[in-house]
Amino acid sequence: MTTSPFFGEFTGSDKSIELVKKITEKTQSGKITWQKTPNGLFAGITGLRLNIVEASSGYPPRWLLFSVRDDKGTEILKVENPESAVIPIPSTLGATIQALGLGANPVLRAVNELYLVVRAAAKGEIEKAIDLIDKI
């Protein structure tokens, strides 16, 4: 399923939203662990590959593409973010969604929520090193 930021969801939007929300919940509970990559964020779970491509420049950070693929590489979900949608650093998640003005597209809204959770949870090399030291 592909979504267009301008025309909305083409097919299966309810299931797409459900999938993104479940990924968000599992990320929040620590069952899905995300890693920082040179171009974004990645999580591999049994049977699935989750990828968020981030803009290479600019502040605050923003996502350009979210995709879910099975272990054979078949695309299950692909959501593209309009280039003008910049993720502000919010005081609350609700303020972010309102600031983005994405209420009309629930799939984009769900991916934005996921992105904020993932950015907070993703571990880079320094964070991994700290975790290893903490285990000593």
Cα separation, 114 vs 47, in Å, equals 20
Confidence at residue 114, expressed as pLDDT on a 0 to 100 scale = 96
- Per residue in 8-31, pLDDT (tens digit) is 434 457 899 999 999 999 999 999
% of the chain residues with pLDDT over 90: 50
- Per residue in 37-77, pLDDT (tens digit) is 999 999 999 999 999 999 888 777 889 999 999 999 999 99
- C-alpha distances in Å from residue 113, one per residue of 2, 37, 96, 134: 18, 20, 9, 30
Q: Which residues of 31-69 are buried (b: 16+ CB within 10 A; e: fewer)?
A: ebebebeeebbbbeeeebbbbbbbbeeeeeebbbebbbb
Q: Where are the domains of the chain?
A: 2-134
Secondary structure (H, E, C), 78-104 = EEECCCCCCCCCCCCHHHHHHHHCCCC
**Whole-structure pTM value:** 0.70
Tell whether the torsion through CA atoms of 90, 95, 99 and 101 is positive or negative: positive
DSSP string over 1-58 = -EEETTTEESS-HHHHHHHHHHHHHHHHTTSS--EEETTEEEEEETTEEEEEEE-SS-
Residue 88 has pLDDT above 70, yes or no: no
> At 130, is the secondary structure helix, strand, or coil?
helix
